[in-house]
């Protein structure tokens, strides 16, 4: 074990609310059974204060037809065109401000569009420039440009659980255990054609001829090591090294060379499903699993190729690890879990445990990090925006509006961003079958400032003046500060 790296953090020292088997993937259950429900949602027991238009009550579903079982098995034909509609958040009010001149014109984070389709639950997102790729259980991948449908292609089989983009290639991970590769046509940029599947058919045939290539996957059942035999749950790219990492419910991490689609390694990484993988800094790869552990792997040169070696376990706990993310500067690794907590480790401190971020009432299902912001999507239907400064994370906004668990996030730079006020476009995909588009500013007022502004709004009698524009009532909510919410969760960061 590398002495420069921190020791394992034992999560048992923290009080946690257990969520049973939430998102606990059982690789022994076949992923091909269409009557199995991958995820069972739980109703939120807490609700935000509803006296102000800027609050959203998360204790009730606003959609009477929303199915709380969240079954991903939707019988809608994948050949039907996606009936998306778009609505914009245009309702605004204003209030006065006492902020500094450099922050004076920074608007609150707000919802700018909502894309709703009846095609299937959204399981994966990927953004590249002005293009957004969405994957669902309809087996289709849709491409959107400027919040309008631009292109689409169907996989033929397999729920789309992960999407990553490398240049003109798009990699999609599926419920059927296959990774499909798509390429953008040079003649028509809206046309996407499948260029292959990982592993290649010829590699499968060649590998199957050698008995030493077979490994035991279940009792009395063997399979070749280059192929996932259960659902692909996550993908991550290392474009500098030309590598693709795939994690699966079959408990393995596989390493692929992008140039020739060859499987270089298969690592028995965990004792349960691998739920998240992220290629990090200093040649490190991080994996999170339903077995409750976060593990670190180091890529090292070996002959003409590379090989990955286990380094250490960062976290070991009873609840499942559901999401991982590394911030843009590569200085912090974040981990979300099914107990609603976010742990993080800092590179400059040799991967020592930096603290615990508390804000969600239910499982953290997805994480993203850009600039000095961290985004967390949850089964409680909300998205928390955290700002990192001076080693401390402050909750800037709680974005609400989804009627189901927030399953995936993608972030791209806002073209309207200013040098003195960097902003980002955040895409959130949910099991309510919608994608919402948010504009998030790094200089936006934090929740304490927003609470003060809302108080001014409530007590003002003769209208409002100033420069702040509030989003619609389904954009954010502010909890009480210094107090716990109904579920005992405080909006703070705990450091060790």
Residue 266: phi, psi to the nearest 5?
-135, 120
Q: Give per-residue pLDDT as tens, 92-120.
A: 322 333 444 444 445 667 899 888 777 88
Contacts of 275 (CB under 8 A, 6+ apart): 23, 25, 233, 234, 247, 288, 289, 290, 320, 321, 322, 323
Closest by CA to 106, choosing from 93, 115, 114, 97, is 97
Tell whether the model's pLDDT for residue 73 goes beyond 70: no
Q: Is 369 exposed, middle or buried (0-12, 13-18, 19+ CB in 10 A)?
A: buried
Strand ranges for 371-430 from DSSP E: 373-378, 383-389, 392-399, 406-413, 423-430
Rounded distance, CA 228 to CA 197, Å?
Answer: 12
**For 213-235, how does the pLDDT look when each residue is reduced to its tens digit (9 = 90+)?**
888 887 778 888 999 999 999 99
What's the pLDDT score for residue 310?
Answer: 96
The answer on pLDDT for 482 being more than 80 is no
Distance CA 269, CA 372 (A): 31
Residue 83 in this model has a pLDDT that exceeds 60: no
Asked if 357 and 344 count as a contact pair (C-beta separation under 8 A), the reply is yes
Checking if the pLDDT of 11 tops 80, the result is no
Q: Which residues contact 358 (CB under 8 A, 6 or more apart)?
A: 340, 341, 342, 489, 490, 491, 492, 493, 494
Q: Which segment of 93-107, 285-299, 363-377, 450-464 scores lowest on mean pLDDT?
A: 93-107
Question: Per-residue pLDDT for 22 more than 50?
Answer: no
Dihedral pair phi/psi, residue 457, rounded to 5°: -65, -40
Beta bridge partners of 256: 244, 263
- Look at the block and give the residue holding tokens 């798509």: 182
Tens-place pLDDT, residues 305-315: 789 999 999 99
Asked whether residue 323 carries a pLDDT value surpassing 90, the answer given is yes
Mean pLDDT of 52-73: 34
Distance of alpha carbon 119 from alpha carbon 116, whole angstroms: 9
pLDDT of residue 114: 86
Q: Is the per-residue pLDDT at 262 higher than 90?
A: yes
Contact indicator for 401, 111 with CB cutoff of 8 Å:
yes
Closest CA to 386 of 356, 421, 417, 345: 356
Question: Where is average pLDDT lowest: 64-68, 167-171, 277-281, 409-413?
Answer: 64-68
d(CA 77, CA 290): 32
d(C-alpha 226, C-alpha 200), whole Å: 10
Tell me the mean pLDDT in the region 453-466. 63
Average pLDDT over residues 439-454: 76
Q: Is the dihedral of CA 199, 205, 210, 215 positive or negative?
A: positive
Q: What is the pTM of this model?
A: 0.74
Q: DSSP 3-state assignment of 102?
A: helix
Q: How many CB atoms lie within 10 A of CB 176?
A: 18
- What are the backbone angles phi and psi of residue 203, rounded to the nearest 5°? -70, -35
Give yes or no for residue 29 having a pLDDT over 50: no
DSSP strands (E only) in 33-105: 85-87
Kindly tell me if the per-residue pLDDT of 402 is higher than 70: yes
At residue 172 the predicted structure's pLDDT band, cuts being 50, 70 and 90, is: very high
């Amino acid at each position: 074990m590398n002495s420069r790296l921190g020791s394992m953090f034992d999560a048992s020292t923290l009080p946690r609310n257990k969520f049973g088997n939430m998102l606990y993937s059982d690789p022994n259950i076949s992923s091909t059974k269409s009557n199995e429900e991958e995820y069972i949602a739980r109703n939120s027991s807490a609700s935000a204060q509803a006296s102000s238009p800027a609050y959203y009550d998360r204790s009730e579903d606003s959609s009477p037809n929303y199915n709380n079982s969240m079954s991903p098995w939707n019988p809608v034909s994948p050949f039907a065109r996606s009936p998306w509609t778009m609505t914009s958040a245009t309702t605004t009010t204003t209030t006065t401000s006492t902020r500094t001149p450099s922050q004076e014109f920074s608007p609150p984070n707000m919802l700018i569009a909502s894309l709703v389709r009846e095609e299937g639950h959204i399981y994966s997102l990927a953004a590249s420039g002005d293009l957004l790729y969405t994957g669902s259980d309809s087996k289709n991948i849709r491409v959107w440009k400027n919040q309008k449908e631009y292109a689409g292609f169907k996989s033929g089989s397999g729920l789309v659980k992960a999407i990553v983009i490398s240049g003109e290639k798009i990699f999609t991970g599926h419920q059927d255990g296959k990774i499909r590769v798509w390429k953008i046509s040079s003649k028509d940029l809206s046309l996407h054609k499948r260029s292959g599947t990982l592993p290649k058919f010829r590699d499968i045939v060649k590998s199957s001829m050698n008995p030493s290539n077979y490994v035991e996957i279940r009792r009395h059942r063997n399979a070749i090591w280059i192929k996932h035999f259960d659902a692909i749950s996550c993908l991550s790219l290392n474009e500098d090294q030309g590598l693709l990492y795939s994690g699966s419910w079959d408990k393995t991490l596989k390493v692929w060379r992008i140039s020739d689609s060859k499987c270089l390694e298969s690592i028995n990484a965990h004792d349960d499903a691998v739920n998240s993988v992220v290629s990090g800094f200093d040649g490190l790869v991080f994996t999170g699993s339903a077995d409750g552990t976060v593990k670190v792997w180091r890529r090292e040169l070996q002959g003409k190729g590379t090989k990955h070696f286990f380094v250490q376990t960062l976290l070991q706990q009873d609840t499942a690890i559901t999401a991982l993310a590394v911030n843009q500067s590569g200085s912090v690794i974040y981990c979300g879990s099914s107990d609603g907590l976010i742990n993080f480790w800092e590179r400059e401190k040799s991967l020592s445990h930096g603290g615990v971020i508390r804000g969600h009432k239910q499982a953290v299902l997805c994480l993203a990090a850009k600039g000095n912001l961290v985004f967390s999507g949850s089964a409680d239907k909300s998205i928390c925006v955290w700002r990192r400064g001076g080693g401390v994370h402050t909750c800037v906004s709680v974005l609400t509006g989804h009627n189901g668990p927030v399953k995936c996030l993608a972030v791209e730079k806002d073209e309207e961003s200013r040098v003195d006020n960097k902003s980002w476009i955040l895409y959130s995909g949910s099991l309510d079958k919608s994608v919402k588009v948010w504009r998030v500013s790094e200089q936006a007022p934090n929740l304490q400032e927003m609470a003060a502004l809302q108080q001014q709004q409530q007590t003002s009698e003769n209208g409002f003046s100033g420069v702040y524009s509030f989003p619609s009532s389904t954009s954010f909510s502010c909890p009480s500060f210094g107090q716990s919410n109904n579920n005992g969760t405080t909006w703070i960061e705990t450091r060790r």
